[in-house]
Structure 1
Amino acid sequence: MNASSTLRKRSLSVRTRSNGAASAVEGRTADDDAESLGEPVSPSARLVEEYFIVVVIGLGAPINQSSGRAGIGATIACYPRFHSIQATDKDGTLRWVRTTVDLDYHIIFPMLDTAAVLVNPDQAVEDYVASLSTKPMDHSRPMWEFHILDFPTSEATATAVIRVHHSLSDGTSLLMLLLSSTRSAADPSKPPALPPLPARTGAIYVRPRPPMSAGSLAFALWLWSFVLLAWHTMWDAAIFISTILFRKDTQTLFSCTDHGNRRPNRIVHRSLSLDDVKFVKDAMNCTVNDVLVGCTDAALSRYYYRKSGDNKTGKEIRLRSVLVVNLRATTALHAKNTVDRKKSSLEVAFTHVAAEVVHKIFGRKAGAYIVDRMFSNTTTLLSNMIGPVEQVEFCGHPVVFIAPSQYGLPQAINVNFNSYVNTVRVVLAVDETQFPDCHELLDDFVESLRIIKDAAEKHGSHDMKA
């Protein structure tokens, strides 16, 4: 890397927010700059104060400082939330306030131990990303950072680590913003090709009415679908409320053991074959997401029984995951069995509205309490995001892999999947104190997919003989 004086190198020393930083921009209060006041900060953006999205991107070429800086400035930094901070107006309303973006602050070239990088560059990157989870962000600046690690690892020539506060963007929005900043590697004049959108484009409660010629049975089934929707929604809402109040998951080695302190979160990842996942999907007549949920269940089970020595297979263990579902119409998340039923439920909309209503009526602390209890009383978070189906370039740099994750939730383990070209990247964010052997858990994901694929092959062979 040719690091010129334009982008200053510095160690990761991040200034924390002072008492007046929330209502001041470079010494000016929000009232002094009324023209820059934007819309109020949404309740959902205020509910999780220390929740950060982290995306690790492997690059296939050394960092080109000029093109990288220009690309980030022309795309990411121009996005409204990425040149705004939160400030309180004269009425006490927290609003987005536009401010100037200093790219020298947001693009960081950290100084790492040269010897450690030479001995094990993969470990150096992993350790650095883990260190970010213990560092706060300066609330007097837009809360996003690009950390550039310009040395080769086993998978990439260089690594970019994007850290963004959740109030600026959720995981799906951030990934779509990053993808909108990429170009097709085959033809840089074109945006990358993405998989086709799901068949469902409207709200879940929109059920097309069958034509009169379809008969009375079709009409009855149409009405019955609304009955199921109402029943599933009421049942799921009751489960959600009980989870907030008292219903906890079984205490296992996956449970968070330290809710009060911020311990380092280690983010590790491994690639799985998308072709293998699709083979299982076709053999079992399900979806890609169904396969990934099954793979997660199998991997966690393998790890649990190996580490705990618990061979009581009949023992009931409640281990639930918070499934991240995008409420926008552009993407969807599907799963099998339990999640199939969730498709016929308005639980997602209910939980979102409930949190915001409580926030508006009882204040931010009450809304944050609901979110904290939801995550504290469940075991993990599971998400799956769709990436490009072709090789892409980011600011002129070929992208080798994309590994999105997060930290800041009161959970000891989170599981994220992201597809890119012909691979699926499984990304784990774990409490490194509880999971010092997290790479073994990645091995369990690889082995679980292999076992599932073998079973699918046998299932297919059996069907052909039958």
Structure 2
Amino acid sequence: MESKKRPVLCIKTRRTNTSSCADAGEVREGPETEEERGRVREEEEPVSPSGLLFRQRHLDCYIVAMVGIGKTIDVAAIKAGLAATLVNHPRFSSVQVGRREKLKWVRTEVAVDDHVIVPDLDLKSSTSSVTGDKVVEDYVSSLTTAPMDASRPLWELHILNVRTSEAAAVAVFRIHHSLGDGVSLISLLLACTRRTSDPASLPTLPEPRPPPPSPLRPNALLAVLLYAWAVLVLAWNTVVDLFFLVATSTWLRDTPTPLKGGEGVEFKPKRIVHSTVSLDDIKAIKNSMNCTINDVLVGVTSAGLSRYLNRRYGEDDAEKRKKKQLPANIRLRSAMLVNVRPMLGIQALADMMEGKTCGLKWGNFLSYMILSFPIVMYKDMLDYIRKGKAIVDKRKNSLQPVIMYRCAHFFVRKFGIKGGAAIIYKLVSNTTFSFSNIVGPVDEIGFYGHPIVYLAPSVYGHPHALTLHYQSYMNTMKIVMGVDESVIPDPHQLLDYLAESLKLIKEAISTR
């Protein structure tokens, strides 16, 4: 698909007298004077170990964020908005120069027209919103196998003026994961938006709920005993989690199921689908069960995957299909990405794009947490929430993600980037799917004057056939799945099972 030709709009940033050629191993034209060499040293920064991991062949990951827009997109307005904000960010105006094992960020000039792509889509057969959904899905799926030009900053914005069942148009960001972790990049995207009710104001995120006050007032001795017990529990959970982390990165594999991808799944095209459910329903379950939204989502995911696998097992066997009986003791886990630093403030990111010094340290500050999902057909739907809460509580009360982050950097220094990547690849490929939950704005926001209807982020390039993201926005929760259709040929049906599981759990709350 070819993009429409438009006049090139170049945005000048700090320049170096170098030519950018990723993976070339050398920079062909160097600075000539000592002053220029000093300026180059200031503007060149090594790519972090986490960023290097995402440039390795089996972990070459990209973030895709589909943004539903409430009106036809004005391409010129989008380009002007990006020119004033996003291209001022250091990572979005830099290229990676050097070999894969030792890359550096080098500032360059940004031609916005090179990054904003308006494909010429065949819409002759698009006579309904359902057809529009398929056109967008097919286009985004084609992006998951299309290479990105490494001689430019590794990001793109694809504008699809196609009406779908939920939006008048769709904007699709594609960003290489080495530019930053998912939470930081979504926060950066939100920093480019403004509230539609007050165009001068940044989006508002929900305030974290403070912990409930303790009903007890322990004396000094009891307080010491409780503290000692908490430390012991933290230490025990950390040791157990580290054991399973090491075991998973070496020999402990998930049970082969119709959800688990095989060798080379990271190179196959992915179809990204999404569905919308009520955030109010999730909050009602959370309040009734005295848990968190993440606990509810883990329980809903466990219920939906169980129902889906219950159907998939025995599809070719009439007797098993009649019984619909899941195999016992299925080990099904997610490699859950965890941000090991506090969330970046949207205001600070907006200041960064305005050139203000805010002291933010950008990059990938990621670790992994192994999260188990029970695959069983409970009679009481609320058991999925109870079990999910128990599992998440143990993971919260553990230092494993922080230790894992430190260990990953140690392995990279000790065994090199290829050795570290091999360990991470083994860890991820021995689990079944990826899982994350990202908090979004509570008010409607606009993207350079275009009202946003929904946010649907995903990621591809890692060795999983299923990637599951939950993204909240206003009073809705978007369920986003990236799947390998050769493994999961009916992704929309899996989405339906997840949405139906939420509905059944909500009904169980009402009739309890």
Q: Is contact 1:116–1:124 with CA below 8 Å preserved after alignment?
A: no
Residue identity opposite 2:45 in structure 1: E
State how far apart, in whole Å, the 1-side matches of 2:31 and 2:476 are: 47
1:167 to 2:178 alignment = yes
State how far apart, in whole Å, the 1-side matches of 2:440 and 2:105 are: 30
Residue identity opposite 1:406 in structure 2: V
State how far apart, in whole Å, the 1-side matches of 2:287 and 2:508 are: 13
Aligned counterpart in structure 1 of residue 332 of structure 2, from 314, 319, 324 = 319
Structure 1 match to 2:450: 397
Q: 1:25-424 to 2 correspondence within 5 Å?
A: 28=29, 34=37, 35-36=39-40, 37-49=43-55, 50-88=60-98, 93-118=102-127, 120-197=131-208, 199=210, 214-259=219-264, 262-309=267-314, 311-313=324-326, 315-330=328-343, 336-424=389-477
State how far apart, in whole Å, the 2-side matches of 1:123 and 1:27 are: 45
Range moving further from structure 2, 22-31 or 41-50: 22-31
> TM-score, normalised on structure 1?
0.88
- Give unpaired runs (5+ residues) of structure 1: 9-18, 201-209, 460-466
State how far apart, in whole Å, the 2-side matches of 1:26 and 1:186 are: 49
State how far apart, in whole Å, the 2-side matches of 1:249 and 1:30 are: 53
Q: Is contact 1:380–1:411 with CA below 8 Å preserved after alignment?
A: yes
Range moving further from structure 2, 351-360 or 31-40: 31-40
Residue identity opposite 2:62 in structure 1: F
State how far apart, in whole Å, the 2-side matches of 1:312 and 1:31 are: 73
- Give unpaired runs (5+ residues) of structure 2: 10-19, 315-319, 345-365, 372-387
Q: Is contact 1:23–1:29 with CA below 8 Å preserved after alignment?
A: no
SS at match of 1:67: helix
Change in 2 beyond 3 A, CA 1:314/1:158: closer
Q: What is the deviation of 1:129? A: 0.3
Q: What is the deviation of 1:26? A: 9.3
Change in 2 beyond 3 A, CA 1:372/1:261: closer
Range moving further from structure 2, 256-265 or 404-413: 256-265
Q: What is the deviation of 1:175? A: 0.6
% identical equivalent positions: 42
Residue identity opposite 2:467 in structure 1: N
Range moving further from structure 2, 256-265 or 183-192: 256-265
Q: What is the deviation of 1:214? A: 3.1
State how far apart, in whole Å, the 1-side matches of 2:227 and 2:270 are: 47
State how far apart, in whole Å, the 1-side matches of 2:457 and 2:192 are: 16
Residue identity opposite 1:137 in structure 2: M
Range moving further from structure 2, 44-53 or 213-222: 213-222
State how far apart, in whole Å, the 2-side matches of 1:164 and 1:218 are: 49
Residue identity opposite 1:135 in structure 2: A
SS at match of 2:338: coil
State how far apart, in whole Å, the 2-side matches of 1:82 and 1:330 are: 20
Q: What is the deviation of 1:121? A: 1.1
Residue identity opposite 1:302 in structure 2: R
SS at match of 1:409: coil
Q: What is the deviation of 1:261? A: 6.2
SS at match of 1:254: coil
Cα RMSD of the aligned pairs, angstroms, is: 2.7
